[in-house]
């Protein structure tokens, strides 16, 4: 009777190969690891007779079923491979090399592998494997249940070697992808990447903007765009009460403070502090003549700033101008 060891997809199946090997008892085992190329499954094994490794070419019958042989099940796929070299008892082949693995294999809930062996012959046999003709295969007792590794095939659609389509969301490093492609961890692209749509880094995709970045970015080399670059956000009015508060205002982005003097004042003088307590620039207004000199002061993200009225009436306007695009 066959013996199965599920670890490593290993199968030990004794069989009597009288019609093929002159009554010798043959042992065969096979390992089916992860898929190594689109559309095929590697299958390696070992054959011996009375403890002596077999030598020479053999024909193989390979079948995938929906159930074990005691239940019967449905034959989902079958192929024959002829004159497979057997050296020191060892052989290596690929399921699907001659006959493409069917969609029924890809979508099956369970797969059981049946294997038949015969001496190599120049005659070919009709598929599925013939077990009744004179040149029939002797099937090894028992079918080997395949574990989850072969089901990597279910991610493949279309023509092998020409890309694939995943039905549903694809997660790399996560079992619960939140989008069509969800990568948990670092990702690396070696070559060109084309994105049809908007790209957001650290933020949600901004409407009407091809690239949105929330946070610092470093660009080594030239930057080219076929459209306008928006370096400044919309002017944001700040009330004098807010701008002149003792603790000042904390900048959430890099930007500028613009102070517009009140030209109706006889004499007014304002200073911008950043950080609070340190004068950086001052604005002043004189009348008559209505002359005025506004102040424009850069402020780093995270820094505090404040507008202090030294004398005269409050400024005519105070604006915060953020650097970068803001929705």
Asked whether the beta carbons of 233 and 324 are under 8 A apart, the reply is yes
Last residue of a domain, one of 134, 153, 172: 153
Q: Into how many domains does the chain fold?
A: 2
Q: For the purposes of burial, counting CB atoms within 10 Å of the CB of 71, is it exposed (0-12), middle (13-18) or buried (19 or more)?
A: exposed
Last residue of a domain, one of 121, 153, 185: 153
**Which two three-digit tokens encode residue 93?**
């082949």
Q: 276 is in which domain, residue-wise?
A: 236-322
27 shares a domain with 133: yes
Partner residues linked to 200 by β-bridges: 212
Higher pLDDT, 166 or 4: 166
Q: Band of the pLDDT at 167, cuts 50, 70, 90?
A: low
Task: Convert the pLDDT of each residue in 89-140 to its tens digit.
Answer: 899 988 888 888 877 887 777 889 888 888 887 766 666 676 666 567 877 7
Please report the pLDDT score of residue 275 as a whole number: 92
Q: What is the DSSP letter of 137?
A: P
Q: For the purposes of burial, counting CB atoms within 10 Å of the CB of 313, is it exposed (0-12), middle (13-18) or buried (19 or more)?
A: middle
Task: Convert the pLDDT of each residue in 199-235 to its tens digit.
Answer: 888 777 667 777 777 777 777 777 777 766 666 678 8
**Which two three-digit tokens encode residue 322?**
């953020």
Task: Convert the pLDDT of each residue in 285-325 to its tens digit.
Answer: 776 666 788 889 999 999 999 999 988 888 999 999 998 65
Q: Indicate if the pLDDT at residue 15 is higher than 70.
A: no
pTM over cut 0.85: no
Last residue of a domain, one of 90, 118, 153: 153
Q: Indicate if the pLDDT at residue 84 is higher than 80.
A: yes
Residue 45 forms part of a structural domain: yes
Query: What string of DSSP letters covers 159-190?
Result: STTS----SS-EEES-SS-SSSEEE-S-----
Query: What string of DSSP letters covers 103-149?
Result: HHHHH-S--EEEEEEEE--S---PSSPPSSSTTPPEEPSS-EEP-SG
Q: What is the chain's length?
A: 327
242 shares a domain with 129: no
Asked whether the beta carbons of 297 and 280 are under 8 A apart, the reply is yes
**Which two three-digit tokens encode residue 149?**
């590794």
240 shares a domain with 131: no
Query: What string of DSSP letters covers 183-230?
Result: E-S-----S----SS-EEESSPPPTT-SEEE-S-----S----SS---
């Amino acid at each position: 009777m066959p013996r199965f060891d599920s670890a490593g997809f290993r199968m030990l199946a004794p069989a009597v190969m009288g019609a093929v090997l002159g009554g010798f008892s043959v042992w065969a085992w096979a390992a089916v690891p992860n898929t190594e190329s689109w559309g095929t499954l590697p299958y390696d094994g070992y054959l011996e007779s009375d403890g002596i490794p077999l030598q020479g070419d053999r024909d193989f019958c390979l079948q995938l079923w929906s159930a074990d042989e005691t239940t019967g099940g449905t034959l989902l796929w079958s192929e024959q491979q002829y004159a497979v070299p057997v050296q020191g008892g060892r052989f290596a082949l690929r399921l699907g090399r001659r006959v493409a693995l069917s969609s029924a294999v890809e979508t099956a809930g369970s797969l059981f592998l049946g294997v038949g062996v015969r001496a190599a012959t120049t005659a070919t046999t009709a598929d599925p494997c013939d077990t009744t003709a004179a040149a029939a295969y002797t099937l090894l007792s028992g079918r080997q249940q395949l574990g989850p590794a072969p089901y990597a095939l279910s991610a493949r659609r279309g023509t092998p070697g020409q890309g694939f389509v995943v039905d549903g969301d694809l997660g790399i490093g996560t079992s619960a992808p939140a989008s069509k492609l969800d990568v948990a961890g670092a990702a690396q692209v070696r070559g060109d990447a084309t994105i049809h749509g908007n790209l957001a880094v650290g933020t949600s995709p901004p409407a009407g903007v091809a690239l949105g970045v929330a946070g610092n970015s470093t660009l080594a080399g030239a930057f080219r765009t076929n459209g306008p670059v928006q370096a400044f956000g919309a002017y944001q009015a700040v009330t004098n009460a807010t701008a002149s508060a003792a603790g000042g205002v904390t900048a959430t982005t890099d930007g500028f403070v613009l102070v517009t003097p009140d030209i109706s004042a006889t004499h007014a003088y304002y200073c911008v502090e950043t950080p609070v307590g340190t004068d950086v620039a001052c604005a002043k207004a004189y009348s008559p003549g209505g002359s005025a000199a506004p102040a424009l002061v850069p402020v780093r993200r995270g820094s505090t700033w404040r507008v202090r009225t030294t004398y005269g009436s409050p400024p005519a306007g105070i604006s915060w101008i953020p650097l970068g695009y803001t929705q």
